[in-house]
């Protein structure tokens, strides 16, 4: 079925749908109907203008985005948004922006915002090793914050908010890099959503930014040209040479979501089944596999877990590589194991992984029993 010979559970860049890879392969040689390689098509061509227009329309349609939003395709990754957002919305302001420090990536966003203006960290999970998210009672949002920033899915720790945060009278700004287009997200309740492509919706090189028009009313003067959202909005994401290939790849992914998957409802149903299968395997393992995140805050995109010792984890990873799985090592900041279940990672791939996990556990338990001198009570066939 799958012509790739390794199953890609990487935390990012993530797997892409097979049908998208095939179309990209074709496009590198020649875009159908254009007669040129996509790597050499002008970003000023009508063809590319149509790609951008269709991609924008697809994203609006997938999210049910009302009018009054810009949809931009920028470079610099999510990391550049960590800076561009406070440059635009916080520079020169007195009231602090409110940030949630829920893991590795939100930590980076806080540090960048602090360069631009006052920041109030409303809640931090650092003391607890980022194993859970704040509850409703933990959060006291203020009405005068210029905005609230949070990360919907903490990719490294495997934590995901399963509810909307904040107040309706303070702009919500959200980094959805690792769960964008994985499920419906009430986009109309946010003032700014950003997501780079390379976890869930495409290759690295493009970052999608949805922002309400009114956020751009009070932009501070003299921002560097590239850092001023207004330039990108005016130029229809063609302010300077955009990443044509990456944008086209994201277009193909949105077509796949719309035409083959049944939109975000369809995608969410598949993603829920994948995550449920994997967490069930962990929960049924009698502590052999231990989920990192508190169960209510578990991510459907990134499942981070540990085994008893670093040594056992190393053996698990080696055996997994041998068995054809790729990208299962945890992020370097936390170690352990992480299985990322982005949109294009299929249910059969997760079934194979849980089968492998069951086998590995079985082999290890037998091995341990033998080593503890009880081997005579274990039948050779077990
Ligand atoms: C991976 C990741 C980032 C970093 O994105 P870059 O495009 O490499 O700058 C930021 N936020 C989240 C939630 C991520 O998962």
CATH code assigned at 342: 3.90.1150.10
- In the block, which residue shows the tokens 């957002």? 85
Here the CATH number for the domain that contains residue 149 is 3.40.640.10
In the reported structure, the alpha carbon of residue 291 is separated from the centroid of ligand 1 by a whole-number distance in angstroms of 22
**Closest-lying ligand 1 atom to the alpha carbon of residue 152:** 13
105 lines ligand 1 (CB under 6 A): yes
**CA nearest to 123, candidates 161, 88, 79, 180:** 161
Residues 275 and 193 in one domain: no
Q: Would the pLDDT of 170 be above 70? A: yes
Residues 177 and 54 in one domain: yes
Q: How confident is the model at residue 356 (pLDDT cuts 50, 70, 90)?
A: very high
Residues 292 and 173 in one domain: no
Q: Determine whether 175 is an active site residue.
A: yes
Q: How confident is the model at residue 373 (pLDDT cuts 50, 70, 90)?
A: low
Does any domain span residue 310? Answer: yes
Whether the CB-CB separation of 133 and 297 falls below 8 Å is answered with: yes
Does any domain span residue 375? Answer: no
Closest residue (by CA) to atom 7 of ligand 1?
A: 77
Our mutation pick for probing the ligand 1 site, out of 11, 74, 79, 102, counting the most ligand atoms within 8 A of Cβ, is 79
Residues 179 and 306 in one domain: no
Q: Would the pLDDT of 374 be above 80? A: no
Tell me which of 175, 179, 228, 297 is the catalytic residue: 175
Q: Would the pLDDT of 382 be above 70? A: no
Q: Residue 3's pLDDT is what?
A: 47
Residues 113 and 166 in one domain: yes
- In the block, which residue shows the tokens 């009114």? 214
Does any domain span residue 7? Answer: no
Whether the CB-CB separation of 188 and 64 falls below 8 Å is answered with: yes
Residues 84 and 156 in one domain: yes
- pLDDT of 314-352, one tens digit each? 999 999 999 999 999 999 999 999 999 999 999 999 999
For the chain, the average pLDDT equals 95
Percentage above 70 pLDDT, the chain: 96
Tell me which of 108, 138, 144, 199 is the catalytic residue: 199
Q: What is the average per-residue pLDDT within 156-163?
A: 98
- pLDDT of 289-314, one tens digit each? 999 999 999 999 999 999 999 999 99
Residues 95 and 226 in one domain: yes
Q: What is the average per-residue pLDDT within 33-46?
A: 96
Residues 271 and 200 in one domain: no
77 lines ligand 1 (CB under 6 A): yes
In the reported structure, the alpha carbon of residue 318 is separated from the centroid of ligand 1 by a whole-number distance in angstroms of 27
Q: Would the pLDDT of 176 be above 60? A: yes
Q: How confident is the model at residue 4 (pLDDT cuts 50, 70, 90)?
A: low
Q: Residue 282's pLDDT is what?
A: 98
Does any domain span residue 377? Answer: no
Q: Determine whether 199 is an active site residue.
A: yes
Q: What is the average per-residue pLDDT within 271-280?
A: 98
Specify the number of domains making up the chain. Answer: 2
Last residue of a domain, one of 260, 286, 302: 260
Range of the domain at 268: 263-367
Residues 57 and 206 in one domain: yes
Q: Would the pLDDT of 1 be above 90? A: no
Our mutation pick for probing the ligand 1 site, out of 109, 150, 177, counting the most ligand atoms within 8 A of Cβ, is 177
Residues 213 and 332 in one domain: no
- pLDDT of 64-90, one tens digit each? 999 999 999 999 999 999 999 999 999
Q: Residue 313's pLDDT is what?
A: 98
Burial of 318 (0-12, 13-18, 19+ CB in 10 A): exposed
Last residue of a domain, one of 260, 289, 324: 260
Residues 214 and 356 in one domain: no
**CA nearest to 275, candidates 200, 351, 360:** 351
Rounded to an integer, what is the distance from CA 127 to the centroid of its chain? Answer: 24
Last residue of a domain, one of 235, 260, 285: 260
Q: Residue 371's pLDDT is what?
A: 82
Does any domain span residue 372? Answer: no
Q: Residue 306's pLDDT is what?
A: 98
Does any domain span residue 374? Answer: no
Does any domain span residue 145? Answer: yes
d(CA 167, CA 276): 31
Tell me which of 4 and 212 has the higher pLDDT: 212
79 lines ligand 1 (CB under 6 A): yes
Closest residue (by CA) to atom 12 of ligand 1?
A: 177
Tell me which of 247 and 371 has the higher pLDDT: 247
On the question of a cis peptide bond just before residue 13, with omega within 30 degrees of 0, the verdict is yes
Q: How confident is the model at residue 369 (pLDDT cuts 50, 70, 90)?
A: confident
Does any domain span residue 379? Answer: no
Q: What is the average per-residue pLDDT within 118-131?
A: 98
Closest residue (by CA) to atom 3 of ligand 1?
A: 78
Residues 255 and 267 in one domain: no
């Amino acid at each position: 079925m799958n012509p790739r010979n390794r199953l890609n559970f990487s935390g990012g860049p993530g797997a892409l749908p097979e049908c998208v890879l095939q179309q990209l392969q074709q496009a590198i040689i020649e875009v159908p109907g254009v007669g040129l390689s996509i790597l050499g098509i002008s970003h000023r061509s009508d063809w590319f203008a149509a790609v951008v227009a269709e991609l924008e329309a697809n994203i609006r349609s997938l999210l049910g985005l009302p009018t009054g939003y810009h949809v931009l395709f920028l470079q610099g990754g999510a990391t550049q948004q960590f800076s561009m957002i406070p440059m635009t919305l916080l520079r020169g302001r007195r009231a602090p922006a409110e940030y949630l420090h829920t893991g590795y990536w939100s930590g980076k966003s806080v540090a960048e915002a602090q360069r631009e203006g006052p920041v109030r960290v409303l809640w931090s999970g650092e003391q607890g090793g980022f194993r859970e998210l704040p509850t409703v009672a933990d959060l006291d949002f203020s009405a005068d914050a210029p905005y609230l920033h949070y990360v919907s899915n903490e990719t490294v720790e495997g934590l995901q908010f399963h509810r909307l945060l904040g107040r309706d009278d303070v702009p919500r700004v959200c980094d959805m890099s690792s769960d964008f287009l994985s499920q419906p997200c009430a986009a109309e309740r946010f003032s700014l959503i950003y997501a780079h492509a390379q976890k869930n919706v495409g290759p690295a090189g493009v970052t999608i930014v949805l922002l309400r028009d009114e956020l751009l009313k009070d932009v501070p003067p003299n921002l560097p040209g590239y850092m001023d959202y207004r330039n990108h909005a005016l130029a229809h994401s063609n302010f300077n040479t955009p990443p044509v290939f990456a944008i086209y790849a994201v277009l193909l992914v949105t077509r796949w979501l719309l035409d083959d998957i049944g939109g975000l409802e369809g995608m969410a149903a598949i993603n829920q089944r994948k995550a449920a299968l994997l967490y069930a395997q962990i929960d049924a393992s009698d502590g052999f596999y231990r989920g990192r995140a508190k169960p209510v805050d578990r991510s459907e995109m990134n499942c981070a877990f540990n085994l008893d010792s670093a040594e056992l984890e190393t053996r698990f990873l080696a055996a997994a590589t041998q068995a054809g799985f790729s990208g299962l090592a945890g992020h370097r900041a936390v170690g352990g194991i992480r299985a990322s279940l982005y949109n294009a990672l299929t249910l059969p791939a997760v079934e194979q992984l849980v089968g492998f996990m069951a086998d590995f556990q079985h082999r290890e338990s037998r091995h341990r029993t033998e080593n503890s001198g009880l081997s005579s009570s274990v039948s050779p066939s077990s």
